[in-house]
Amino acid sequence: MAQSLDKALQQLQLDTLCRFSPEQVAALQQTTGLDNDNLALSLLPLAQQKALPTVSNFRVGALAIAGSGHWYLGANLEVDGLPLNHSLHAEQSAIGHAALWGETTIDKVVVTASPCGHCRQFMNELNQDKLVIVLPQTRQSLAELLPHAFGPADLGIDGGMLNAPAGSLAFDTEDPLILAALSEANASYAPYSQNRAGVALLLDDGRICRGRYLENAAFNPSLSPMQLALSQVLLQGATPTRIRQAVMVEAEADIRQHDTAAQTLARLSPVALYSLVL
Ligand SMILES: [Zn+2]
């Protein structure tokens, strides 16, 4: 079965095997004969290849199945030389990936190992009662994995992480990198701090990798825009050493992203972070 999946993936001729359209998923299912969950589980090694587990050496792969039928890979990212709480978890990477493509619902998160408490809390911010977590041996709803949860509704926030109203930050420029970071800042989710933020990283081949801030009612599981953008660099088959320019746009607020983002970037790339506070 693994051989037929490999062959089917080669036939798709994808430049970057990190996002699958509904048509590609259907083609893979037809070729392999695997059902939805088992095909997703079979793709997790692809996600694991994108991990940067420099501290743990433990590769975690995840796949978010969005309501649109698109599938998004994610992988863990650890930052050598910084405290462990700068790490990005695979589930965050996959859901952040889906967010960057404008997805508004996630039906399933498929992952190689049981989600940690941090990720359960992060996924709870989706505010989707029917979210299912698929593991190699079991399938459970998030509600079963996180009973008596504390979430956005407890802080008076309706909707969830993928349904935030658009921001209105504005900056007069034609620089595509600043515009990309600005667009992500306006699409970010920061209902507790109002610190909307976005990052854009220019690679040596002209590609732009984006990240946006995704905040959490429990604060600590909030996903930094720099971590998400760096995760995109890896998912798209590049390395942080190929970053040529880095821009962050964030809203004036009581908290700031810049220092932490610059510190994270500095551990992985010599490029300095250009930052705008609006
Ligand atoms: Zn986790």
φ/ψ of 266, rounded to 5, equals -60, -25
Around ion ligand 1, residues with a beta carbon closer than 5 Å are: 89, 116, 118-119
Q: Are 150 and 218 spatial neighbours (Cβ–Cβ below 8 Å)? A: yes
Strand-pair partners of 211:
199
CA of residue 66 to ligand 1 center, whole Å:
19
Ranges in the chain, pLDDT < 70 = 1-3, 11-16
Token digits of residue 208: 């732009």
Please identify which of the residues 78, 91, 125, 215 carries the catalytic annotation: 91
Three-state SS sequence of 27-43: HHHHHHCCCHHHHHHHH
Q: What is the DSSP letter of 140?
A: E
Q: Are 219 and 247 spatial neighbours (Cβ–Cβ below 8 Å)? A: no
CA dist 131 to 109, 111, 143, 188, Å?
A: 8, 13, 8, 21
- d(C-alpha 186, C-alpha 183), whole Å: 5
Q: What is the pLDDT of residue 6?
A: 77
CA of residue 246 to ligand 1 center, whole Å:
27
Its pTM stands at 0.95
Q: Using DSSP, state whether 133 is helix, strand or coil.
A: strand
CA of residue 30 to ligand 1 center, whole Å:
32
Long-range pairs, 88-91, Cβ under 8 A, ≥24: 88/223, 88/227, 88/228, 88/230, 88/231, 89/60, 89/115, 89/116, 89/118, 89/119, 89/122, 90/47, 90/51, 90/60, 90/61, 90/62, 91/62, 91/64, 91/115, 91/119, 91/122, 91/123
Q: Where are the domains of the chain?
A: 15-153, 176-277
CA of residue 4 to ligand 1 center, whole Å:
31
Q: Which amino acid is at 229?
A: A
Q: What is the pLDDT of residue 134?
A: 98
CA of residue 96 to ligand 1 center, whole Å:
13
CA of residue 116 to ligand 1 center, whole Å:
4
What is the CATH number that goes with domain 15-153?
A: 3.40.140.10
Q: Using DSSP, state whether 263 is helix, strand or coil.
A: helix
Q: Are 188 and 197 spatial neighbours (Cβ–Cβ below 8 Å)? A: yes
Q: What is the DSSP letter of 77?
A: B
- d(C-alpha 82, C-alpha 198), whole Å: 21
pLDDT in tens, 209-247: 999 999 999 999 999 999 999 999 999 999 999 999 999
Which string of b and e fits 159-168 if b means at least 16 CB within 10 Å?
ebbbebeebe
> What is the domain class of 176-277 according to CATH?
alpha beta
Q: What is the pLDDT of residue 212?
A: 98
- d(C-alpha 37, C-alpha 47), whole Å: 15
Q: Is 184 a catalytic residue?
A: no
pLDDT in tens, 93-134: 999 999 999 999 999 999 999 999 999 999 999 998 899 999
Q: Using DSSP, state whether 177 is helix, strand or coil.
A: helix
